[in-house]
């Protein structure tokens, strides 16, 4: 039996005012793998030339954005509608945190939409009335102002936490070099330092070699790093080393 994956939620910006804020919201969406943007009666129309620069490369979100005349039209195909608000509007509905809402969206099935209100006033009571659930961000009651992109990124982050999103690219670390390779490098360096008069005075030779060994065995040298340094030493000594053979 094949399990149908719950589709990502649509982000619905209700009567957004500034193109820059739409662009920033699109950027926040794409940061966490959301690409479906729906706009309800954007004040300055759509497309808006100010949105592109603010999106910082989230063009796929802006290019796919759809415009609707009403919240009802924008959410007509959605089985679950969430309204983000920090204020009680006299509408009795379940209230969830973004994390709880993210889990509920994943539990599915069916399409979900998350509503975000205009920058200055937030969602109106009639907008919230169309939703089945309210999302409220726990926030400082003495300063509860979030800009549009901040609100979107908080909700998108919690939705994405159980998604398999690729982490930032990491450089694969080579395994440590075998001890024999490390000993070969240390021996080569000591052999070059001896005629150069590095180990002076003679009575300090043992202690100096011990300190040098401690320095060279402290890092996690890989085989490639050992070969690189030995190549450098060989070049400085004017003879062939492991890199040249």
Domains in the chain, please, with CATH? 10-160 (3.40.1280.10), 179-237 (no CATH)
Q: Is the Cβ–Cβ distance between 83 and 131 less than 8 Å?
A: yes
**Order of all β-strands in the sheet with 10-14:** 66-68, 37-40, 10-14, 112-116, 80-84, 133-135, 95-96
Cβ(110)–Cβ(78) below 8 Å:
yes
pLDDT for the residue 223: 80
Structure confidence at residue 27 (pLDDT):
96
DSSP conformation class of 176: B
Best CA proximity match to 67, nearest among 126, 7, 22: 22
Q: Which residue has the tokens 């969406």?
A: 29
d(CA 167, CA 130): 36
- Report d(CA 36, CA 31) in Å as an integer: 13
**Sole residue written with tokens 């089985």:** 79
Q: Are 226 and 203 in contact (CB under 8 A)?
A: no
Chain-centroid distance of CA 225 in Å reads 31
- Confidence at residue 244, expressed as pLDDT on a 0 to 100 scale: 44
Reading the block at residue 180, the tokens are: 């024999």
Q: From first to last of its 245 residues, what are the pLDDT tens digits of the chain?
A: 344 578 999 999 999 999 999 999 999 999 999 999 999 999 999 999 999 999 999 999 999 999 999 999 999 999 889 999 876 555 578 889 999 999 989 887 788 999 999 988 888 888 988 888 999 887 777 777 788 999 999 999 999 986 654 445 455 566 667 777 888 888 888 888 888 888 888 888 888 888 777 777 766 677 877 887 787 788 777 655 444 44
């Amino acid at each position: 039996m094949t399990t149908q994956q719950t589709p990502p939620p649509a982000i619905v910006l209700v009567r957004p005012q500034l193109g820059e804020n739409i662009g920033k919201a699109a950027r926040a969406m794409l940061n966490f793998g959301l690409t479906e943007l729906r706009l309800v009666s954007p004040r300055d129309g759509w497309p808006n030339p100010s949105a592109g620069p603010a999106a910082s490369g989230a063009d796929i979100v802006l290019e796919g954005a759809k415009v609707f005349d009403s919240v009802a039209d924008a959410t007509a195909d959605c089985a679950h509608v969430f309204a983000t608000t920090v204020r009680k509007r006299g509408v009795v509905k379940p209230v969830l945190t973004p994390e709880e809402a993210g889990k509920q969206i994943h539990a599915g099935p069916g399409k979900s939409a998350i509503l975000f209100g205009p920058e200055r006033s937030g969602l109106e009571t009639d907008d919230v009335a169309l939703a089945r659930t309210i999302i409220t961000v726990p926030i400082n009651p003495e300063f509860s102002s979030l800009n549009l992109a901040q609100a979107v990124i908080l909700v998108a982050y919690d939705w994405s936490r159980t998604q398999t999103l690729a982490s930032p690219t990491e450089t694969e670390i080579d395994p440590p070099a075998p001890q024999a390779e490390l000993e070969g490098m240390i021996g080569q360096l000591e052999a070059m330092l001896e005629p150069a008069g590095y180990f002076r005075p003679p009575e300090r030779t043992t202690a100096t070699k011990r300190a040098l060994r401690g320095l060279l065995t402290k890092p996690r040298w890989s085989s490639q790093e050992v070969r690189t340094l030995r190549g450098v030493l060989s070049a400085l000594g004017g003879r062939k080393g492991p890199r040249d053979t």
